[in-house]
Amino acid sequence: MSNDVVRKPLMSGNWKMHHNHFESIQYLQKLAYLLTKEDFAACDVSVHPPFTDIRSVQTLIDADELKVSLGAQHCHWDDKGAFTGEVSPAFLSKLNVQYVICGHSERRELFGETDADVAKKISAIQKYKMTPIVCVGETLAEREAGLTTQKVMGQVRSALDGRSSEQIESMVIAYEPIWAIGTGRTATSSDAQAVIGAIRAQVLEMSGVKAAQSVRLQYGGSVKAANIAELMAQPDIDGALVGGASLDSAEFARIVQFRLHRTP
């Protein structure tokens, strides 16, 4: 579809269960050294450390006035309650968290999160003026059975159902094929574009032109510096949700600087 809205790329580093708070501070100091003001002008950057690191990372971002946005990997949908081990979105917002990942495939596959759970989390995240990064994707078995579109669009419809155009415009949706996460396998740029383009078409159908043009769509799944430029050359890919490659500050910096490493 034609696009009159400039969508600034968003590169998000999901550290998963890696880096203690000392390591996170060191990492972020190195990342800030490697990135320039031109990089931040061209690309939004978020980091998503473990919960135990968030306060330390927030303090560093605030003290040094870093242009990196603080993100979380997960939250509960309630403000408070008897939910041992969970984290309230209200608590995250008090720490100046700006982005919260929800529906990540590992949460869905390992911890049983349903589409209904994800939808409730989206509402909670937006209630506190944070931006949800909503993950969708298919397993290898589903892909081989030709069920990619059915699975992914079902997840997208569940995430968007009942939301206003304004709520959807500010969202991020990350297509992360489960078969590509941590395996070294990556969807070809054309395959990634096909699914992400279909997601944008689904947003258009459900919420109209403005939402479809404004929503940012990421790709996730073995993203690294060697393949990011090719992925970002696709018209509907607005950034990346980066796992393993984001654990090294130099590699993640090169991903953020994808525009500098395109093949002529």
- The DSSP string of 169-228 is HT-EEEE--GGGTTTS----HHHHHHHHHHHHHHHHHHH-HHHHHHSEEEE-SS--HHHH
- Helix or strand or coil: residue 146? coil
Q: In sequence order, what are the beta bridge partners of 174? A: 135, 218
Backbone angles phi, psi at 60, to 5 degrees: -65, -45
- Please state the length of the chain: 264
Backbone angles phi, psi at 44, to 5 degrees: -85, 145
CA atoms of 213 and 209, how far apart (whole Å): 6
The dihedral over CA atoms of 247, 253, 257, 263, expressed in degrees to the nearest 10, equals -70
CB 223 within 8 A of CB 14: no
Label residue 199 left, alpha or beta by phi (over 0 means left) and psi (-120 to 50 means alpha): alpha
CB atoms under 10 Å from CB of 76, counted, come to 19
Catalytic residue positions, numbered: 104, 176
